[in-house]
Structure 1
Amino acid sequence: MNKIAIILAILLFLPSISLAKDKMEIKYSFSQPVLKKIMCNNILYDEVYLEKSSTYGNSGEPALPAYPSYILLPQGKYVKKINAFAGEKISLGKGYNLMPVEKSIPLGSEKIFPFKNFNLNVYPGKIFTEIGTYSFRGYNILVLAIHPVQYIPSSGEIFYYKEITIEVELCEGKVNPLFRGVEKDKKEVVKKVDNPEVLNTYKTNDLSQSYELLIITNKKLESNFNELKEYKESRGIKTIVEKIEDIGYDADKLRDYIRNAYINYGIEYVLLGGDIDIIPAKMLWVYGLDENVDPYETFMPTDLYYACLDGTFNYDKDDKWGEPTDGENGKDVDLIAEVYVGRACVNSLQEAKNFVEKTIEYDKTKIDEIYLNEICLAGEYLGDYGIASYGGNYLEQLIGECNDDGYSTKGIPLSYNITKLYDGEDGYWNKEDILNVINRGTHMIHHLGHSSTNYNMRLMPEDVEGLENNKYCLIYSQGCYAGAFDYDDCMAEYLTKSENGAFACIMNARYGFFWSYRTDGDSQRYHREFVDAIFGEKIFSIGKANQDSKEDNLYLINRSMMRWCYYQLNLFGDPSINLHVNSPPEKPQKPAGSNKGRIKNEYSFSTFAIDAEGDAIYYKWNWGDGNVSDWIGPFIANETVNATHSWEKRGIYIVKVIAKDEYGGISEWSEPASISIPIFRENIFLKILEAIFKLMNLL
């Protein structure tokens, strides 16, 4: 979440925070949950929604909202014990039949599973779940899922707590060795936690030398990536290129090297310049629960291992790296990234040349290029699962503000030209449709459908080789195995190493997962948060946006297949590249000015709007009396501007303002201000005196 979103969340939920030497408290306040009816399999269920919360629980259990808690611990302090104290308990009534948590199903499956029976007295029967303590660049963060809403299946009663206080008892420990204490780290952690005031307990340092991007490749491909280095440095991004031969073809040695570069050089991004045969990948073991089938488990290649640099990923020293107890002292493995990692899955000089040229060409694209406004959503038929039968129903959640499934994301603005390729009852789209989309020039493609290592978006490798586009795209797909780069080749590799196609892809190393009868699928969670990172949180770096989508879902890591998806979503592309998103200005500040006035007198109101790219801003004022100004400007972004208006009639008028950047991106309307214009009755006595004085002057 970005800083402004955090501030709003703090104001909304009113957490009260106190810090003592040996303990800290955070108080969370909750609004009343909203109840809705939903029909599923001809059964009428109830659903519970709580603002800024998400569905939590195992498949078949009552679907209840959980609230995310990210608590920054003081420097050198660790968790000794966690206590929770519930405030006023409020019943919402009895007789409710809660919708169960849906099944997590591989995208290739067409099997339908029945719901479980509820078998506990109270769900979830506890106030919080401890997810774990994780570290971001030496800042220790306790992650909890808070359960303000409870359910009694026997009576159907739902109740909630208006307030919950989390008390964390602290103990002394060592300062995290990955703590750098630089200003840019401090700015990032503010966006991640509920209690940023604890930052005052962390010391600050300066690095003697600082780089932003580390590229690791081999001797054969070094010249290609040196070209990328030269380009990056011409854009002000200080870059190092290192050879795997000097480090050693070993995932653990490579992780140690990246950790040292992070500490000593201040790197933020890592580009792995080679396929798995050139740059090794760590194979992590992952396990997930599905409904009425054997649990899924597998080993998968994940570059998350090189991004999350704290501690070990194999505490018990068995052959299964990445178990939830494989972190330091048998705790969870590190899941918050110190650096942001992408991979160029290339083997030859020509493939490396293609990748580098596409990366540079995209980065050089001017923001006013027409094709940057083109986005495609491609959804396929998934099986007979009610609302979840068609991928298009999921992809619609990527557009605009979406509050579906109990959480909020901000997606693709309606100002974009969105092409929708959706399977439906009226027919299916075919590969010629998606080939036309790519060849004519499309900025982003979001896909949900069946895939494999050599099949994605209804394309095969030979189709990719025949692409003719010279305007390159980003592709995000929820399909199975399209990003399995431990196989000979996968579709993500074909799309990024070919002469045309994509400059970057984000794809799954193994199965993608959706939910039957509901759109709150595990893969969908990450997809929505990725789009929200770009358009909601204004995170334009692809690598950072991909990781943000994971960390926003960290409090759900133990839900169904969430860990599976957390591990497998790899970036095939340069993580430091910024998306050319003509992001609209943020909503202007509420107009500031008089709240009372007189007829025909002019009154001034002021506002300002933040624009992430620093574009010039225009404003349009609605004065509430039928008068709306033309676009006024341009003005410098973030600069306070003034406008004046007079009203002709008595009344209370609503004043609001909207902003537009120089490329046409339009904000939301501001919060309204009001001004009251009463009619002042004329004083007859004063009128008589005025007439007498005029008469005397004539005499």
Structure 2
Amino acid sequence: MKKITLVLLIALGWALVNALTHEITIDPNGWNTRSDQSRPLIMEAGNPVLPFLPVRLLVPFGMKVEGVRIYLSEARIVATNIALDYVREQQPTSLPTPDQTVRNTAVWNSDIPYPSKDYDHLGSQYFRGYQIVLINVYPWRYNPVTKQIMASGQVNIALDLSPDRDLARDKANFVTRDVRTLQMLETMVLNPQVSDTYAAASGWREHHPNTRLIDLSNPKKMIIITDNLRAPWFSEYVTWRDSQGISTAVYLTNDIYSEYAGVDNAEKVRNFIVDAYSSWANSPTPLQYVILGGDDEIVPERGAFGQVGQTIDLRMPCDLYFSCLDGSWNANNNALYGEMADQVDYVPEVHIGRFTAETQAEFDNFFRKTRYYVDNHTYSNNIAIMFGENLNWNPLTWGGDYKDDVAQFIPDNYHLITHYERDGTYNGNIVFNAIHGGANIMNHMGHANENFLMGQGGSNVQQMTNSEYGFLYSQGCYPAAFDHRTSGDNESVGEHLVMDAGGLFAFIGNTRYGWYAPGSINGASQYYDRSFFAGVFNLGYTRLGDALTYSRLDNLNAALANGVMRWCYFEVVLFGDPSIEVKYPDDQMPLLELASYNLSDVDGDDDGIINPGETIRLYPRIRNLPGWNTAFNVSISIENPPAGIQLLGGQVIIPQLASGALSPEDQYLQFQLSDNIGYGIQYLTLLVDAIHPVTQQSIGVRRFKVSFDITLLDHRFPWDCYYASKSAPVVYDFNADGALDILYVDVYGSGYYINDEGDDYAGFTTDQPQNLNRSFAMGDIDGDNQPDLVFSSRTGLLYAVQTDGTPIFSYDAGTLLLYTPMIADIEGDGSPEIIASGFDNMLFVVSSVGVVKPGFPLAMNTLVRCEPAAADLDGDGGLEIVIGDSDGLLHAIKAGGVSLTGFPVQLNGIITGAPTILDNNRIAVGTTHRLYLIDPTGSIVFEKAINGSSASGMALADVGYNGDLDIVFVTGTGNLYAVSQTGNDLPGFPIALNTIFTCPPLIADIDGDYFHEIILQDNQNGIYAFNHDGSTVPGFPFLTSFNGSTPATLVEYDNDGIFKLVTGYSTGVLVINLRKPASTRTPWTTFRSSLLRQGSYASTGYVSTDGNITPAPVTILHQNYPNPFNPTTTIRYNLADNGNVRLTVFNLKGQKVRILVNGHRPAGEHSVRWDGNDDSGRAVSGGLYFYRLETDKVRQTRKMILLK
């Protein structure tokens, strides 16, 4: 109960009051802070935790307070055996340390109730001319010795007053009598009825505008201060605020600086605001709001003094300086503003905000996001989010506990979401997604600095593309440090959140340290945070500036008495428009989310793997969250698909989706991938919207990321093994079922046969574990017209087995065998020999039954460091062995161990690039940094410097298409060369790939352009493909993370007309579906040219050679190119046999559109163009079409898309 008595004397034309008394009834249980955590505490570290009673009394107009008399009734014991905790030292939220606070023994060991004083008179403060006396009363006491709580039941306050004409004249110029001011007084003081005495103030007003800038006839509710350059940018925003009932005008800093006095520009700006406020105070439209329109380089900031213990800041950015218009803030003239000795008036007359922007784009973001928030009523209106981090581990302190305390003020009809580290629901990604998801109100307690907040830095914020914007209040340290002293040429993270394209429309935060209390929720910053939301939702201060002012006024008594509360009072700033109202929830809103999605290639090859060129279905499942209203006319669409993705059809519409319901699972969106789309993870943005049942407007588009992997990995692979391998997998129909198989051999010599389903179905082992360091060879060793396998092992064994593992021979070389063995007919008698080199510098040649051939083993000069090659260099019918050693000697060795005339040839450097023999019997070979071409007589054709050693040899093909083979290789350091037989680099080469390679290239025409492409795999099995001119084949590279590549084989693995790359990684096999049409132009498709591993062009199959395995020709319909297309496309097909052919185009209904081919065609490759016209010559509409190839034996269909 409160009782007020006024003793009135009538004199001098006003009501004189010589005494004002006020009586307050005290709640005896008010000491219990657990029952009312909003009651302020006596913040004396080490002393008992007790609240105090903040008292604010309005003084009648024109009266001076001569004295204050306060009487507390006798204190009585209200609780016994109470063990109160002690107050902890406040800590900055970004500097958590173990709490070192100890009890104040002078208090805790005393048998005297604490506190020993009854009250503190804090003086007078002025709000818009209204004088308010502030007193802290201590009606609750604690005796630490007896553990008793005592309370006074009554407090009687008497103010001794006297009239003061000077005071009346001064403050009359500030007095406003508008409804909002009187409403604010209702919540500020215990005796608001005294405001009636201020009606007399109008008779004492003497203020007139100081300059021509102020127009008395045109008062404004809000003013914006900016410079000449930026003023025009505000034009539309001002018009918009006018239309919202906030009359607004823009004033220029240049005019203010020239018209107003002040020690610096900041004081000049403040003096202008004082003038504007005073000039319009008595008008129907008093000034209420001020926007400082720019960063501190545009509109100056004022730094204020702050001290908490040993923590001192001499220039804490404090926009409050421009809001509290009484006094100078520098009464002692020492240029330290806001010291206690400066007798600062703390109560704001106007509500202040700042647009911390510099560029037009930044200002436009402020304008756009603010207008969107006000003008659109969307689902985000209903969402409030609390973010809480761990503040301290000793004692354990959770930001989530702080936020739960604030959340009590959020009305129940908001959809409240909590992301707390305490609960395991908080991290930077969660915060990013939460902001992206849209929210009206966001509140944060946790660590921060000028560059980092809630896991977000400036670069993160710049990536935000959300279209729903809310505001955030944070207690973190420094996120609003917009001053150049702190952030330099960069901007604080709080600035980024409001001036970048995404993020927030407004931010409230600290320019310096935020403060918390370890082990409790009684942090200094918490009081202001709590009061802000209490002001919005309990007291009707729904505009951001009003609520921020209320949060200060609610804690004014504490700020006047305590350094940390005063620090927080000064530092909180608003980045945004202070006149914007917080929006309340709309009960008609649904909230839609993407519950799940899946993708299907049923319209493509239906293998479950998304590949280039396929038509894809996206099945989104949308959920309307429980507790929200029914959603009407839900629309689902894809926004701006990236290049290479063509949408087919429009959006999905769901007429109605009840609260808690999921959308149907059979509804899908469809899109086409181009043949040349890049590999890897692709992202689509899914737009989900609905129509408000009342306004019939959008409820706000929600954006969800959908990702999928466009990959070349075949869906049946990888096939993984427990044991590692260093050997190239071999592709062959081992079980004679008409389908190709893959043989994987591990380092111990065990073989695993893998069928075309990716399953291992058979295998073999060795009697003794081997140690295979490189690949193996395959050919008919025992004369049964079936392939056999040849291995060389680090154990010293050179051995051959049949494909079921049955031994053919085993020869013990007595030394390590490091490199791939070779099968070649050295003697020219039709029976193959097996060749391998040893670590003991010996060259071994054995027969098909394992008997050493005459002249062997042959001693080499030094160690051999690469594979050998074989070719008939002298035309005598037997193949010569071509091999290099570490001394740089290139040998050509005939049967019997005899050197070919002209050999060995001395080269410069260690021979590491395995010899490779051209169709003219020239030998390409590499040393550590040089490439050589040697003719069959031993003469050097050319010598060329290269950047590094070639990786396992070369590949050969007519890349330049001049009728001569070119030499293609990649160095271990990633330089791809294509060199002609004249020693010149082909145009477009070399190419620096900046990655590591251990395997040689393969060469084939994989895009149907009749030119050869070069295919590479790096040591992570990333696939690279280059055209003959050095340009990258569209869509490549395709990168994987399968470590440890082994040489690959390019093959039409499934007899489906598509090239696949079969390769090994450290513990398994990959099949890479190149999605490219298989062709017959395949000059180099496996390691060392063929499974014989002869390293010669003659053994590739382009020239007849013993042991070559050539696949039979097949009929294939290739994918059209380009696809999608406009206006024409080319369709290629291969025919295995001569015969009748029909190639027809159909539409989606199965109706014939055009017959492209109808007649007899010879076997081989063919192509035909379609111009998008039907059989009548009329242009058809854009969309999906089918084309079908029909022969006597084959019927194949593919899809294509015509774009229009």
TM-score by length of 1: 0.74
Is contact 1:209–1:264 with CA below 8 Å preserved after alignment? no
Question: Aligned residue for 2:267?
Answer: 252
Counterpart of 1:442, as a letter, is: A
Shift of 1:421: 1.1
Go from structure 1 to structure 2 and tell me whether the alpha carbon gap of 1:126 and 1:254 turns closer, same or farther (over 3 Å shift).
same
2:197 paired with 1:201: yes
Question: Aligned residue for 2:2?
Answer: 14
2:467 paired with 1:470: yes
Shift of 1:76: 0.8
Question: Aligned residue for 1:492?
Answer: 494
Question: Aligned residue for 2:550?
Answer: 548
Output the CA distance in 2 between the equivalents of 1:186 and 1:350. 40
Is contact 1:48–1:64 with CA below 8 Å preserved after alignment? no
User: Which deviations, in whole Å up to 9, do the C-alpha atoms of 1:173-216 show, x marking residues without a partner?
Assistant: 22115433433333432332111121221126498543101011
Shift of 1:582: 3.5
Is contact 2:477–2:510 with CA below 8 Å preserved after alignment? yes
Of the candidates 405, 410, 416, which is equivalent to residue 397 of structure 1?
405
Question: Aligned residue for 1:211?
Answer: 220
Of the candidates 320, 323, 326, which is equivalent to residue 336 of structure 2?
320
Output the CA distance in 2 between the equivalents of 1:444 and 1:186. 28
Of the candidates 362, 367, 380, which is equivalent to residue 371 of structure 1?
380
Output the CA distance in 2 between the equivalents of 1:464 and 1:428. 20
Go from structure 1 to structure 2 and tell me whether the alpha carbon gap of 1:94 and 1:415 turns closer, same or farther (over 3 Å shift).
closer
Shift of 1:305: 0.3
Go from structure 1 to structure 2 and tell me whether the alpha carbon gap of 1:271 and 1:389 turns closer, same or farther (over 3 Å shift).
same
Question: Aligned residue for 1:561?
Answer: 564
User: Which deviations, in whole Å up to 9, do the C-alpha atoms of 1:78-113 show, x marking residues without a partner?
Assistant: 221111112243113555432212221111223221
Shift of 1:451: 0.6
1:385-534 matches, cutoff 5 A: 385-386=394-395, 389-400=397-408, 411-424=409-422, 427=424, 429-486=426-483, 487-488=487-488, 489-534=491-536
Between the two structures, name the one with larger relative contact order (CA 8 Å, sep ≥ 6): 1
Output the CA distance in 1 between the equivalents of 2:139 and 2:7. 23
SS of structure 2 residue aligned to 1:57: coil
Question: Aligned residue for 2:156?
Answer: 165
Higher helix share: 1
Is contact 1:70–1:142 with CA below 8 Å preserved after alignment? yes
Go from structure 1 to structure 2 and tell me whether the alpha carbon gap of 1:304 and 1:167 turns closer, same or farther (over 3 Å shift).
same
Is contact 2:429–2:455 with CA below 8 Å preserved after alignment? no
Output the CA distance in 2 between the equivalents of 1:33 and 1:560. 28
Output the CA distance in 1 between the equivalents of 2:105 and 2:235. 60
Go from structure 1 to structure 2 and tell me whether the alpha carbon gap of 1:559 and 1:301 turns closer, same or farther (over 3 Å shift).
same
2:113 paired with 1:122: yes
Is contact 1:68–1:146 with CA below 8 Å preserved after alignment? yes
Is contact 1:118–1:153 with CA below 8 Å preserved after alignment? no
Output the CA distance in 2 between the equivalents of 1:490 and 1:70. 37
Of the candidates 270, 273, 282, which is equivalent to residue 302 of structure 2?
282
Counterpart of 2:374, as a letter, is: D
Of the candidates 47, 65, 69, which is equivalent to residue 79 of structure 1?
65
Shift of 1:385: 4.1
Question: Aligned residue for 1:627?
Answer: none
Is contact 1:495–1:501 with CA below 8 Å preserved after alignment? yes
Counterpart of 1:455, as a letter, is: F
SS of structure 1 residue aligned to 2:546: helix
Output the CA distance in 2 between the equivalents of 1:187 and 1:136. 13
User: Which deviations, in whole Å up to 9, do the C-alpha atoms of 1:495-526 show, x marking residues without a partner?
Assistant: 11111111100010011110011111111111
2:346 paired with 1:335: yes
Go from structure 1 to structure 2 and tell me whether the alpha carbon gap of 1:48 and 1:504 turns closer, same or farther (over 3 Å shift).
closer
Structure 1 runs not aligned, ≥5 long: 1-12, 37-46, 328-332, 401-410, 585-661, 664-699
Structure 2 runs not aligned, ≥5 long: 9-16, 206-215, 258-263, 281-285, 588-693, 696-1204
User: Which deviations, in whole Å up to 9, do the C-alpha atoms of 1:421-468 show, x marking residues without a partner?
Assistant: 1112x6463222111111121112111111111100100101100001
Output the CA distance in 2 between the equivalents of 1:49 and 1:445. 26
Counterpart of 2:75, as a letter, is: K
Is contact 2:45–2:101 with CA below 8 Å preserved after alignment? no
Counterpart of 2:492, as a letter, is: C
Question: Aligned residue for 2:1138?
Answer: none
User: Which deviations, in whole Å up to 9, do the C-alpha atoms of 1:368-420 show, x marking residues without a partner?
Assistant: x211111111111111144x5211111011223xxxxxxxxxx1122221221
Output the CA distance in 2 between the equivalents of 1:275 and 1:25. 48
Go from structure 1 to structure 2 and tell me whether the alpha carbon gap of 1:583 and 1:341 turns closer, same or farther (over 3 Å shift).
farther
Is contact 1:316–1:326 with CA below 8 Å preserved after alignment? yes
Go from structure 1 to structure 2 and tell me whether the alpha carbon gap of 1:142 and 1:346 turns closer, same or farther (over 3 Å shift).
same
2:248 paired with 1:261: no
Shift of 1:17: 3.7
Output the CA distance in 2 between the equivalents of 1:390 and 1:48. 17
Is contact 1:48–1:63 with CA below 8 Å preserved after alignment? no
Question: Aligned residue for 1:113?
Answer: 100
Output the CA distance in 2 between the equivalents of 1:497 and 1:149. 48
Shift of 1:49: 5.9
Counterpart of 2:469, as a letter, is: Y
Output the CA distance in 2 between the equivalents of 1:35 and 1:317. 42
Go from structure 1 to structure 2 and tell me whether the alpha carbon gap of 1:320 and 1:434 turns closer, same or farther (over 3 Å shift).
same
Is contact 1:49–1:65 with CA below 8 Å preserved after alignment? no
Question: Aligned residue for 2:1068?
Answer: none
CA RMSD of aligned residues (A): 2.2
Question: Aligned residue for 1:150?
Answer: 141
Question: Aligned residue for 1:577?
Answer: 580
Is contact 1:215–1:242 with CA below 8 Å preserved after alignment? yes
Counterpart of 1:542, as a letter, is: L
Shift of 1:35: 6.8
Counterpart of 2:56, as a letter, is: Y
Is contact 2:303–2:314 with CA below 8 Å preserved after alignment? no
Go from structure 1 to structure 2 and tell me whether the alpha carbon gap of 1:377 and 1:562 turns closer, same or farther (over 3 Å shift).
same
Question: Aligned residue for 1:351?
Answer: 362
Shift of 1:563: 0.6
Shift of 1:127: 1.5
Q: Matched residue pairs, number?
A: 541
Counterpart of 1:508, as a letter, is: N
Go from structure 1 to structure 2 and tell me whether the alpha carbon gap of 1:300 and 1:583 turns closer, same or farther (over 3 Å shift).
farther
Shift of 1:54: 2.3
Question: Aligned residue for 2:323?
Answer: 307
TM-score by length of 2: 0.44
1:615-626 matches, cutoff 5 A: none
SS of structure 1 residue aligned to 2:103: coil
Choose 66-75 or 89-98, whichever is displaced more: 89-98
Output the CA distance in 1 between the equivalents of 2:578 and 2:37. 32
Is contact 1:33–1:50 with CA below 8 Å preserved after alignment? no
Larger of the two Rg values belongs to structure: 2
Output the CA distance in 2 between the equivalents of 1:109 and 1:312. 34
Output the CA distance in 1 between the equivalents of 2:403 and 2:129. 37
Is contact 2:88–2:101 with CA below 8 Å preserved after alignment? no
Go from structure 1 to structure 2 and tell me whether the alpha carbon gap of 1:581 and 1:300 turns closer, same or farther (over 3 Å shift).
same
Shift of 1:298: 3.9
SS of structure 1 residue aligned to 2:316: strand
SS of structure 1 residue aligned to 2:188: coil
Choose 178-187 or 100-109, whichever is displaced more: 178-187
Is contact 1:107–1:513 with CA below 8 Å preserved after alignment? yes
Choose 520-529 or 172-181, whichever is displaced more: 172-181
Go from structure 1 to structure 2 and tell me whether the alpha carbon gap of 1:467 and 1:54 turns closer, same or farther (over 3 Å shift).
same
